[in-house]
Amino acid sequence: DGAVALAALEADVPPSKRPTVPPPPGATIPPAASIPPPGPSDAIDQEALTARDLVAALRAVAHGADASEILGDNTSWEALFAALLSLLLRKRLIADWEFVEEFKKI
């Protein structure tokens, strides 16, 4: 009765002109699987300088403290900013033309 009426309604609906697209194949992950985060595959040296150490040292220097223990005595600010700019450009967080325009303002 209700099913017969539904079947009759479905028979009256013309087929869609849009092609049917099958769902994309997905990766199935077992429920208990752990996926390692992206990063270097080698073990990280605990004594190595980290970005967090570098930022803390730069903040300390900005406030007038001595951070030569972390940064060394001959800190190359040019190399530091070149590395930072290279990362920002590579990650497309800034456009090269925007940086050049901003640099010309100085």
Residue 18 maps to a domain: no
pLDDT category, 74, cuts 50, 70, 90? confident
Residue 86 maps to a domain: yes
70 near 53, Cβ under 8 Å? yes
pLDDT tens for each residue of 2-47: 565 555 555 666 666 776 777 677 766 666 667 777 766 565 566 7
Residue 51 pLDDT: 84
Residue 84 maps to a domain: yes
Give the domain range for residue 81.
Answer: 51-104
Residue 30 maps to a domain: no
Residue 1 pLDDT: 53
Residue 82 maps to a domain: yes
Residue 55 pLDDT: 86
Q: How many domains does the chain have?
A: 1
Residue ranges of the alpha helices (H) in 1-95? 2-12, 51-62, 68-71, 77-90
Residue 70 maps to a domain: yes
How far is Cα 104 from Cα 106, in angstroms, rounded to an integer?
Answer: 5
